[in-house]
Every structure is written in structure tokens, then in C-alpha cells.
Structure 1
Amino acid sequence: MTDCTTVGSKTSKCKMTGSGTSVAKWTTIQAIPSFLPIFNNITLPIIPLINEQPKKPTVPELPKKYLSTNLASNARLGNHLFEMASFYAISKKLERIPTFFIDTEWHDTMLQDTDFLIPGLIDHFLIVNDTVRTCIHIRRTDFVGTGFHVPEKDFILSAMKFVEEKENNLLNMNYTTVFFTDDAGYVKTLLSEKFELKDGTVKNLETSSVISDTDSTDSILYSSRHCDTVLVTAPHSTFGWWLGYLSKGNQVYYTDLKFVNDLSFPAENFNPDDYYPPHWTPVRYGGPGNATVIESLK
């Protein structure tokens, strides 16, 4: 509490007291004018000021973006150090996660050499080991309602299962799925899905796949360097066709136009070899009421 005695408009000193004990602190205040006698000789409480800390601005979480490159893994140590250091710096500049794919024993050596001479550098990389990259193309936005075939979710998932089981029988490796699409919102709903392979392995798309957010040019470049297998779900998509044709593995699966309700192309007049390379594999449902995807016989 503060006891103040004022006379007229002069300035006086006030003493702070509390619970019968004097507080050794004095403050000078401007006295209240004498024409307001009702306020003279009263005790006024001191209200402490609240020192509020300014709120820190909320920083939005950046989306996960990745950067990879076709490393010269069979080169020698000097090249390795230049590549890895510059690769990391470029990724930082672009706010992307540097991703290192181990495809051969040379990549293992490259990582070991770099870690020995620059400890901690490879800790900033996403290391993908013994992995086959399956690229899935899904086109929807301008195809819906136009007569072009747009595959439903069940077909996409069943086709992915078919492709992975067939390829895994040949390579027996881990698979990472990369989605290329014009409808990322739709594809995000697929990431909550799981399916079981013949060997009992459960494929969890949320942990084993990514959605590419690159533009068309970068998507084609990525496919040419990294896509071992491509699944084209919208068979009329010319972009999907080129994504498969220019892919690294040129191992392409596509929805068979002869077995879908596509109003823009009469099935009886369609020869798939006029449009698709003969070594590509067409896929379709197993039959009416059969949700299993199988290979079409040409």
C-alpha cells in the first residue's frame, strides 16, 4: 500500500507500506489538485504492470520435399567429396531433403568414404537402400466427366499390389512408391490404405510412399533417372505415356483400354500395339465382381 499526503497542487513523497512493515522504497507523484478534496488524504493501491512477452510468430511447417541426383558412385574420393558436399548445400538452399539411393556396391563405398573424412555429413541424408522405385501416375482433374476412363481407388490399390508382387518375384528387393498426379488431395486419401502381399508383407502406403510435387518437366527427368517401374492408371494420359516411355527401367504397366468404360475410344477398333510399346504390360480386373487385377492377354 502507499500512504500519500498532499497539499494543494504540490508534489509530495509517498511511502509504501504493507502488513505493518515499512518498505524501504519511496516514489514521487504529482499531487491531486485541491479542488478535488474528496480524493485528498486517501490510500491508493499500486497496481503492478504486467510485463507480457511478445508472442513468437507461428512458422508454418514446410512440406516434405526431396532431392536426389545421379551420383558418379564409381568415381574416386575427390569426386565423392565434391558431389556429397555440393549435393547437401543445394538441398539446403532449396529446402529439400537430400536423398541418397544405394543401387550398387559403389554407393556403399561412396558413403563410407564420405563419412570417414566428413563425419556427420551423411546424417543429413535420407538413405534408401536396396530399393526399387515404383512410380504411379494418376490423372483425374480434367478427365472426370469427359468420357475418358478415370480409375477408382480399388483398382489403383489392386494394380499396385499386382505390380509389386510380379516385380518382387524377379528382384526380391524393397519397394518405394512415388505418386505423380494432378490431384494431390485425392492421392493423399490413398496414403491411409494398406494391402497385403502374397508373402504376408503388409504394404503401408503412409510409410513407404511419397507424393511428388514437381512440375511436369522435373517429373519426366525424375522418371528417367529413378523410376524402375511405372504404372499408368489413366490409359489416355499422354503425360503418363511419356513418364513410362522415358523411365529408367522402361518396365511399364497400364490400364487396358479394352476392358474399361471409355467412351472416347471404341474398344472393338482399338489395337493396343498402335499406341503402347509391345513389351508394356496391360492390366485389368479379373472379371465381373472380381476386384483382383490380372495381366491382360494380347
Structure 2
Amino acid sequence: MRLFHFLKFLTINNFSRYCLKIVKVHIIWITIICIIYFNWRFKKLDFMAIPYPPAVIKFNTSAKYLSSNLASSSQLGNNIFEIASLYGLSKHLNRTPLFFIENGYHKKMLDNLRKTMPRLMEKFRILNGSVPRSISETKFQRACCLHKSPWSLEKNRDEYLHLSGKYYQSWKYFPNMRNELIEFLNPTSIQIFGNLPISDDQNHVTCVHSRRGDFVEYLFYASDPKFMKNAVTFLNENEKVGSRNRKIVLFGDDLNFLETYFSDAVLSTDVGKNAEYYISQNPPIDDFLYSKNNCDVVLITETPKFQLPAQHSAGGLGIFRKETKFTIWILNTLGIIFLNLEVLLQVTSTHHTGRL
């Protein structure tokens, strides 16, 4: 009798173990299938773009506020343009500018702007969270690169005025603000730019900007290698530098392109190497500050996606001279410098365009 119960116990125990193994195997396969499915289904999910909870705001205050949608995932140049334009609009409308940290991209944009133009961001009230649904959106600036008169906004009496536009790529949103915007730049005077030359009594620095990347992909007027080489030759033959050493710094989003057509250039990371041509591999924020202090002449070799107050010639060559150390370039996150802020600020007396 006892033997019978013992054999029965072993049979039940083995069966239980077998069932448990089957369940474990099924759980493992179901888990694997779920992982594969969710990776396939949500592979395009951008976690940086997931919106934060709505910001907590107060109504019925004595202030008036201005905010806007932002192309926060775009490049640094776009970000600076947006913020400068919103600041200019807020001054025109006598409103306090707001910056909603709506997602991870907005947080990154805010961090970069605080490094680049900290005093400008001090003018904004920062709110941690998305735009609440209680704030209605006002249609404005439907095209990225055209100026729209803010007269329609002057009639708006909403406490919180939130605009639907993005980019705001027109200098007309911040006219006559040259000195003020310059003061907003990072005041740090000592910067480390790798091997890039410093403009001084010994060196004359020509900064050459190229852009390929998305311009090639989307069939914009990307920098042409033949034109770029001819343009640099043109500058070397026509720019008088006196007894100073001629130094040419190349900026762009395609390192292979620059190294192919300027094979004698050294990288900014090649510390200790001396040359005539240099290719910057610094972060865009560092390039921004380097350009402010060191570019004696700026050459832009592609057609921007938006209009400039001082139009480029049909040949595509824009030469911008400076008499002071305030030539400022706006860069994107790939390190591309795509326009000269002094031009946007209508400091045209010392600028001219040339054509090959």
C-alpha cells in the first residue's frame, strides 16, 4: 500500500514538472514574439518626442504672455532663429515670452541655447511641461521663411497667446536689435577650439561654409565642389591680407567631401599641426563662438533655403567682410553654418556680394 502511494506521488510530481516546463517554454516564446512585434510595430517611435504632462500655469494674472510651437528637433541655427524672432515679437507686442519644455527635444534645445545665448534665454519664462489644452492656438506664420506682419496679433487680448508657426526665418522679426543680440551671446572669452587658427596680427582667417547632407538628399542647391574650389581661389587672389598669414577654415556636414577636395587640410582635432587649410570638427556651439571672434571673411557656398536681406548673386557666392569682431554664424546640429547673423541684422554697410 505504501509502495502504491509512493509510486503515485512520483507520477504526479513528474507530471507537474513536465507541465511546468511546458508553461515556461510557452512564456519564453510568447515573450520573444511580443518583443519582436513591439519592436516592429513601434520601431519608428521617437521617445524624445513623447509629450510631457501639461505645464501648470496661472490665469487671471496682470501679465500677457507669448509662446509658439517650436521646431525643437531641428538644428541649432533654426532654434536660435526661432527664439530670436519670438523675443522680437514679444517686445513688439509688449508680452513676456514663454518657453514650454514640451518633450525631450525641447529640453535639448533649451540646454543648447543656454550654452550659446544664455542671456537671451534669461528673457524667457521657462515652464516645465506641454502647452495646456486651456490655451488655444492662434494661426500665425504658416510658411517657415516669410515674414508675416504681427499687426493681427496686436488685437489679440488673450492672456496666453500661443502661435501655430515654426522657424520664423526672417530678420524682420528682430530688426534693429544687433547690439542686444550680440550681448546675449555666451560671454566666456576663453574657448578651446582645437587646432583652428586664431585671427590676430599674425593670422588672417577666411571661413568657408559648405552644406551637403540633406540639401543633396532633398535636391536643394548644395555646395558644388568645382564652384567651391574656384571660390576659394578667387578669395585667395583678391583678398589682401598684408603680411598676415592666410588661414582658411572649412565648415560643413560632409567630412569626406571636404577631405576629398581639400586634401591638404588638417582637422581641428590634429593638435599641433600647422597648415593653410583647416577643417573644423568641433561641436556646433564651439564653432558658433569661434566664428564670432575669428572669421575675418565669410564665404557661403550654397543657396540658403530662405531669403536673405542682402541677396546672394546668381552665381551663389556670398562674401561678407567684417570691420569688427562681431561676425556671427548660425549653425545646425551637424556643425553647418548656413547664414551670417550680421546680414540678418541689416548691417549691410560693410557687406557686399560677389560673383565668379
Q: TM-score, normalised on structure 1?
A: 0.36
Quick check: which one's helix share is greater? 2
Quick check: which one's strand share is greater? 1
- Higher Cα radius of gyration: 1
Higher relative contact order (CA 8 A, sep 6+): 2
